[in-house]
Structure formats: structure tokens, C-alpha cells
Amino acid sequence: LAISTAVFETNPFEACIVLGHVQDKDGQKMSKHKGNVVDPWSVLDKQGADAVRWYFYTNSNPWLPNRFYDDAVSEAQSKFMGTLWNTYAFYILYADIDGFDPTKYQLEPDKLAPMDKWILSKLNTLVKTVEKYLDNYRLTEPARELNKFVDQLSNWYVRIGRQRYWGDTMTEDKISAYMTLYTVLETLSRVIAPFTPFIAESIYQNLVRSVEKDAPISIHLTSFPKADEHMIDTALEAHMDTVLDIVTLGRAVRNKTGVKNRQPLSEMYVSGEALPEQITDIIKSELNVKSVIFVTDTSAFIAYNLKPQMRTLGPKYGAVLNGIRNYLAQADGNAIVEAVKGGGSYSFDVDGTAG
């Protein structure tokens, strides 16, 4: 195992230690002799130290070879830090417009919308997961979990609930939306501080220190967050995962059939157990359907076209092969498939020949 150390002196505390071979985008080991090394300063000047850190965290485990090139760093930077920063900027924009001060309100669980409860549950589950991995000196796994969370925070929670911030009056629902997003961003900034110290510090200073004058002067003087078990709802998280799958599949079906999302549909059938009404409403809104019907028996929606396999049946039933083909073409495909599930069998007679 080769060990290479590169110290990025953007400030006295910033260092990046890379274990294992560093490769270029073609998978060739970097070396001065091959002339394919990357000047770290050019990368730091372009994407920053946090982006380089994050790329190495998420690309592969430290003891495995890492392919390193500018575009890969930019992609990692955009997916995580760019998405997180846009979410943070969204909160700051509307909080400034409304003059919202989170220190004047409390997060009241009883008044939260289902989406608020879900994202807070995901947040606390994330805190537990990241802490567990870090306690065991794992970096890649928690970084990837953070990637997933930030994506769902921005592209699901904020996108669906953005209209809650648009009203002129400070309603209970609007306060809940603000307090939920503030809580998530404040907690998340402390979770990512060991991974991306600079963006975490920037968010903390403007998000927290601007309203809490007695807060520690740096995020790196705060404690790593502790998960609130009372906020974790595993059933709600499972339901929302199902919703995400249904919405993804529903959009795929619309695209495949050429039916655009702006065209409303009267009904949508989903195979599986029914979801709570408030959760189902999200599906209706996202896919523009008036009714979502859950079914456990999908046989009515499936049609089987059964044909004999010539290579297998020909040597044994050659004389009646046409009869077998005709029988299968007219038979109840669902009944035959159900009979042979799990290694079962299905028998019938053709011209006096049993098969």
C-alpha cells in the first residue's frame, strides 16, 4: 500500500491525507515520471479544499485506489455542496423577507405537517448513522448518507413545501416550515463540520450566529449533535420511501406513454398495501392524479401470452406441438402461471395426449 500525503495550506489547520494509489481518469497511477500528476493548488483555487475533501470521502474507501480529475471533483461539489448551499440560500432568502427570527419560536411537534415530521425523523436517523460510522473510523459510508439526505432535503422536502413560505401572514404552518428547515440546516451544519469545515462554518455564522449572539464563535467549538429518538418515526420513513418509489415509477410510465404530467388522470393503481391518506395526497399532487387505488392482487392487470418452447417440447411432443400451441394461446395465462409458481406443474390433454 502506497501512502501519499498532500497538505493543502489554505489555512494552518487544513490537510488532506490520501491513503492508497491516486489514479488519473483513465485509471493510470499518477506519478511525476508519467507526467499525469495534478497540481493541487490549481484544484484548490478552482473548487476549494472542501470540494477536494468531499470527493475523496465519497469516491471510495481510503485504502482503495482513487481516480482523481477536475470534472469528478466538480461533480461531487455540485451534487452535495451546491445542493446544500441552494437549500440554505432558500431559507435565508425567505427568512430575510419575512424578518423571521428562529429564537422567538419553538419547534412544536404536534403542529408539524407530515413532511416536517418525516424530514426531522430522517435528520435524527442520519445523526445516529453518521455518528456510528465515525465512531468506527468509517468515512465513505457516512459521506454517502449525507449525500442522499441533502438530495432528499432539497429535491423532495423543500421542493414540495416551497409554497408554505410564500404567504403574507405568519401562520402556524409557515412557522412550522421555517422552524423545521432552520432546525435541519443548523443540525446538518454541525454534522458536516468534520467533513467540510469551511462551508459548515460559513452556514453556521450566517444562520446561527446572526441570531444567537451567545452561540459559540465557531461551529468547530460546538458539540456534535445527538439524535432525538422521540423524533424518529421509522414507519413514516418507510412510507415516504414507498412514495418516492411510486412517484419515480409513475413519472417513468408517463414518459414512456407520452402522457405529460400537466395532463390530469382520474385514477392510478398501485400494487401494495395502502398508505395513510396524508401520504397518499403527496402522490396525487406529484403525479397529477385524482385517485390512488392500492391493490394486492394484480392479476387483473396482467395478461400472459404463452408459447411452447420448441427446443424443449419438440422431441417429446412433436406430433401434437401445434395443438399445444393452440391450447396455450387460448388458455387462462394467469391460471397457468399461478400453478407453476414455486416449481409447481400444470397438465392438460391435446388430441388424447397428456402433457
Q: With a cut of 90, say whether residue 221 has pLDDT above it.
A: yes
Q: With a cut of 70, say whether residue 11 has pLDDT above it.
A: no
Asked if 121 contacts 232 with a C-beta cutoff of 8 angstroms, the reply is yes
**Mean pLDDT for the chain overall:** 84
pLDDT at residue 158 in the model? 97
At 30-88, the pLDDT tens digits run 555 554 456 666 666 667 788 888 888 887 666 556 666 566 777 878 889 999 999 99
78-92, 117-131, 159-173, 322-336, range with the lowest pLDDT: 322-336
Cβ atoms within 10 Å of 230's Cβ, excluding its own:
8
Q: Who has greater pLDDT, 300 or 243?
A: 243
Q: Who has greater pLDDT, 155 or 25?
A: 155
Q: How far apart are CA 301 and CA 269, in angstroms?
A: 9
Q: How far apart are CA 182 and CA 161, in angstroms?
A: 14
Given phi > 0 = left and psi -120 to 50 = alpha, else beta, which region is 169? beta
pLDDT at residue 66 in the model? 61
At 175-207, the pLDDT tens digits run 999 999 999 999 999 999 999 999 999 999 999
